Structure 1
Amino acid sequence: MQIRYFFLIVLSLLIFQSKVSAQQLSPEATVSILTCDPGTDVGEWYGHSAIRIADPTLNLDAVFNYGLFSFETPNFMYRFAKGQTDYAMGGERFKSWLPQYDEEKRSVYEQVLNLTTEGKNKLFQALLENAKPENRVYRYNFFMDNCATRVRDMIERNAGEPIQFTDNHPTESYRDLIKKFHHSFRWFDLGIDLLVGKKADQPVSAYGQMFLPDYLKDQFAKAEITVDGKPQPLVLETRTLREYPNSKLNSDWPWPAIVFGILFLIIAAFSVRSFLQKKRIDWLDYWLLGLSGFAGLIIGWFTLYSEHPAMSPNYNLLWAFPLNLFFAGLWAVKKWRPQARYYFWLSGALLILSFVAGQQFNPAVYFLILILLVRVVVNLIPEKK
């Protein structure tokens, strides 16, 4: 969730790995989780998580980060679209890591963990092993395997004692959770809703919600660890390292819904008027069919070929039906319009099905569906001679 370049990896643990890999952390060492507020760049919208290990005896203060990737990777944009982006783990000194968040005016929080010296050493050695060139790269999965889930999993596997996270009755879906971070990016939110399918509407457990750094922070604050057979709080202390009053992103107007809502009113009024005047506006149907069909081709490609989570099935394809593009071509030829008009029966049925498909659509999409439905109804009403 944090975009950093791969040269950091080269610097990362080479700085201190050779010095401390054969040594043990002292009892004065601390292990903590760092949580950073969302930023304005696309890779920072959901915040960031990292692990900090500090030991004054070893003169060690390092941050381990699972959010590294490079735009220089061959065919990066194509691989990103297909969901084949590889991320990597790296580390850097804490004193060089923290100032970037001052520059970006993003708050940073630290949770010191209640681990035994044995648990701290086990985690530290696991992180050093993970940072080796042959181990540091992993296939990124936004919902299941990212910078936050890797932090959770590394700590849970190597804490040395069992960790108990609180559970809840899941009420929010993946889509609900990520939408909370899109209030300042409404058009991006529309794009995500178009590409992400029905599986994103499944309820997510408290454990699964930790793919988001803020939720990771909250769950660790409520978690317990068993020490000497007794449950104790996993977090000993929570510190605010940096706090900026405006670091939380502000909400924006729901512009896509507003724009398409106004467009629906205009097209509906225009359609009724032209129908009453017995005038045809075939050019409008040509553009609506063409644009919705083209959108369907893009959505269909992601549905069939992308490895991103929750892409299939995607019932946006009911209204953005790829065949619309083909029939837009037929509709453009005047002599074929009488035969092509029968296609509106199929289009109307698909549009109605989209309302009962069980997938949560973006509010703007409902206006798009209504626009298409208005044109379907107008074209299916028999013309009076």
Structure 2
Amino acid sequence: MAIPKRKALTSLVLRLLLCIVLLLLTAPLLLAQPALSDALPDAPEVEMPANMEGVEFYLITVDTGNHVWDNFGHTALRVVDSSSDTDLIFNWGVFDTSGGNIRFARNFVRGQMVYQLGVVPPAWEFNRYRREQRTVWQDRLVLNSQQKARLYTRLAWNLGAENIDYDYDYFFDNCTTRLRDYLDEALQGELSENSGSLMPETFRDEVFEHYRSRPVIAFGLDVMMSERIDQRMTRWESLFLPANLRSELQRKGLLADPETLMEFAPPADKVNPYWVLAGFLVPLVLLTALVRQSPIAAFGSQPGFSFAVSGFSYRLLGLLALCVVLVSGGLGMIMALGWWLSGHADLHGNINLLLFWPTDLLLLGMVFTWFWKGRVKDMTPGRHQLWTFYFLLRILSLLAYLVVCLFNVSSQQTNMLLLTALPTMLLFFLLTMISGMRPVRGMRFY
């Protein structure tokens, strides 16, 4: 019975590890709206007004913010009923964490993202955006009495205990698409009419574009998300973004009385992470120029290669290796565990696993020798052969990645990785195999 218990414990540890890394690195996208645990727990029931002329609906569009979870913006609906003197914000971005963070993390890994409709007073909602320094626009929806009645009826239905929850999907079913669909229903298809044309952008393009102010997150999501997000969006699908929905409603003449309720500067774009990655090629090319043959490098060693100006060269290699190993090993581990254990389809079938391997973390021992000691890593001939085999496998995997990308074996978009990460990784592993380690014969004295 010990073996099954050990397997169960291993599986639990891996799932907990996946919870941590996914929450740290992919939560910015998956949790585009922070928890509203103090939203009204018992949402007021909506009663149909006797006269819909006294009811006005307002589209609330919130700009991107300075936190990693709000880089897509947010959409809500304001309902003002002058006859009953009520004013409420309907917000589809609420998720429940009352069951505890562990349960939430477990459901997160499984891909079970249950969101719900929340209802709050405008003052509560707007004060939060003011604290977050996010611009908020308000537009009155141009609807006749029949359209208002249909929308009001749908809101009342949505507040039912059996309808208030929904399975969140950040592209196809989120706080913005919920309102989009309800408006289209109220308009009897007017919003979705002629909206099947393809846009030039893919879902990946929008993810990367909206995280320009968070380059580390942008790079991580770009690597970890598979080909599922590389399809070109239809005009209708592009309305998952709050700004796009507002623009489309304006284009169709369905908005009036625009008002900026509060205004703040949007987050500034940061340097493109792929330019930083390409910058690693400069020191790697320098190290390539410093490679020298070393016939007898040390007592008992075999002929091989090392670097000129060894102290500087090996410390530079160690610094570069630390970055490469942590990025490659970390991303590789997240992708591997995500594919194996997670229910998020966007983490499955990722060809970037040819580029980033979780086993690269095993190189940290060599990093210590290179960076702290400033010299080549000495090892027994057997270990040297084993590591040489590993580096050859890594080089072959990188070449396989090149073939897959060039011949469009997969539809996953990898252009920037192909231009920056691939040559960086290829040159790094070649240098490491040739000059980073040295076999040393054991000496026996009789």
TM-score interval for Structure 1 and Structure 2 normalised by the shorter chain:
0.7 to 0.9
The 4+ residue runs of structure 1 with deviation greater than 6 A are 326-332, 379-383
Q: Offset of 1:326 from its aligned partner?
A: 7.0
Q: Offset of 1:51 from its aligned partner?
A: 1.4
Counterpart in the other structure of 1:228: none
Q: Offset of 1:185 from its aligned partner?
A: 0.6
* SS class of match (1:111): strand
Counterpart in the other structure of 1:180: 209
Pairs aligned (count): 366
Q: Offset of 1:49 from its aligned partner?
A: 0.4
Give yes or no for contact 1:142–1:309 (8 Å, CA) kept in 2: no
Counterpart in the other structure of 1:31: 57
Instruction: Look up the equivalent residue of 1:146 and give its one-letter code.
Output: N
Matches within 5 A, 1:101-116: 101-116=129-144
Q: Offset of 1:47 from its aligned partner?
A: 0.7
Give yes or no for contact 2:65–2:134 (8 Å, CA) kept in 1: yes
Matches within 5 A, 1:176-215: 176-215=205-244
Counterpart in the other structure of 1:168: 197
Give yes or no for contact 2:35–2:96 (8 Å, CA) kept in 1: yes
1-structure distance, mates of 2:364, 2:396: 18
2-structure distance, mates of 1:136, 1:332: 63
* SS class of match (1:50): strand
Q: Offset of 1:339 from its aligned partner?
A: 4.3
Counterpart in the other structure of 1:252: 270
Matches within 5 A, 1:82-93: 82-93=110-121
* SS class of match (2:76): strand
Aligned: 1:142 with 2:170 = yes
Q: Offset of 1:306 from its aligned partner?
A: 2.7
Counterpart in the other structure of 1:49: 75
Counterpart in the other structure of 2:310: none
Q: Offset of 1:310 from its aligned partner?
A: 2.7
1-structure distance, mates of 2:48, 2:55: 16
Does the C-alpha gap of structure 1 residues 236 and 212 become closer, same or farther in structure 2, counting only changes over 3 Å? Answer: closer
* SS class of match (1:10): coil
Counterpart in the other structure of 1:226: none
Q: Offset of 1:267 from its aligned partner?
A: 3.0
Does the C-alpha gap of structure 1 residues 97 and 297 become closer, same or farther in structure 2, counting only changes over 3 Å? Answer: closer
Instruction: Look up the equivalent residue of 1:219 and give its one-letter code.
Output: E
Q: Offset of 1:381 from its aligned partner?
A: 7.1
Counterpart in the other structure of 1:352: 399
2-structure distance, mates of 1:7, 1:68: 10
Counterpart in the other structure of 1:242: 261
The 10-residue stretch of structure 1 (74-83 or 62-71) with the greater mean CA deviation from structure 2: 74-83
Aligned: 1:269 with 2:295 = no
Give yes or no for contact 2:61–2:74 (8 Å, CA) kept in 1: yes
Structure 2: state its 5+ residue gaps.
1-31, 295-304, 308-313, 367-376, 406-410, 438-446
Counterpart in the other structure of 1:307: 343
Instruction: Look up the equivalent residue of 1:98 and give its one-letter code.
Output: F
The 10-residue stretch of structure 1 (42-51 or 22-31) with the greater mean CA deviation from structure 2: 22-31
2-structure distance, mates of 1:241, 1:323: 51
Instruction: Look up the equivalent residue of 2:38 and give its one-letter code.
Output: F
Instruction: Look up the equivalent residue of 2:244 and give its one-letter code.
Output: Y
Counterpart in the other structure of 2:126: 98
Give yes or no for contact 1:315–1:359 (8 Å, CA) kept in 2: yes
Q: Offset of 1:208 from its aligned partner?
A: 0.6
Using the size of structure 2 for normalisation, the TM-score is: 0.72
Counterpart in the other structure of 2:356: 320
Matches within 5 A, 1:332-343: 334=380, 335-343=382-390
Counterpart in the other structure of 1:62: 88
Give yes or no for contact 1:173–1:201 (8 Å, CA) kept in 2: yes
Give yes or no for contact 1:289–1:325 (8 Å, CA) kept in 2: yes
2-structure distance, mates of 1:322, 1:103: 40
Give yes or no for contact 2:110–2:342 (8 Å, CA) kept in 1: yes
The 10-residue stretch of structure 1 (49-58 or 140-149) with the greater mean CA deviation from structure 2: 49-58
> CA offsets, 1:146-190, max 9 Å, x none?
101111112222345643254533211101112221121111111
Counterpart in the other structure of 1:230: none
> CA offsets, 1:266-291, max 9 Å, x none?
2332244134552277x969966686
> CA offsets, 1:94-140, max 9 Å, x none?
34333333333322222322322122122112212212333212221
* SS class of match (2:117): strand
* SS class of match (1:49): strand
| Percent of residue pairs identical | 22
Does the C-alpha gap of structure 1 residues 336 and 161 become closer, same or farther in structure 2, counting only changes over 3 Å? Answer: closer
Q: Offset of 1:311 from its aligned partner?
A: 2.4
1-structure distance, mates of 2:75, 2:330: 38
Instruction: Look up the equivalent residue of 1:300 and give its one-letter code.
Output: A
* SS class of match (2:53): coil
Find the partner of 1:40 among 60, 66, 76.
Answer: 66
How big is the alpha-carbon RMSD for the aligned residues of Structure 1 and Structure 2? 3.3
The 10-residue stretch of structure 1 (64-73 or 137-146) with the greater mean CA deviation from structure 2: 64-73
* SS class of match (1:342): helix
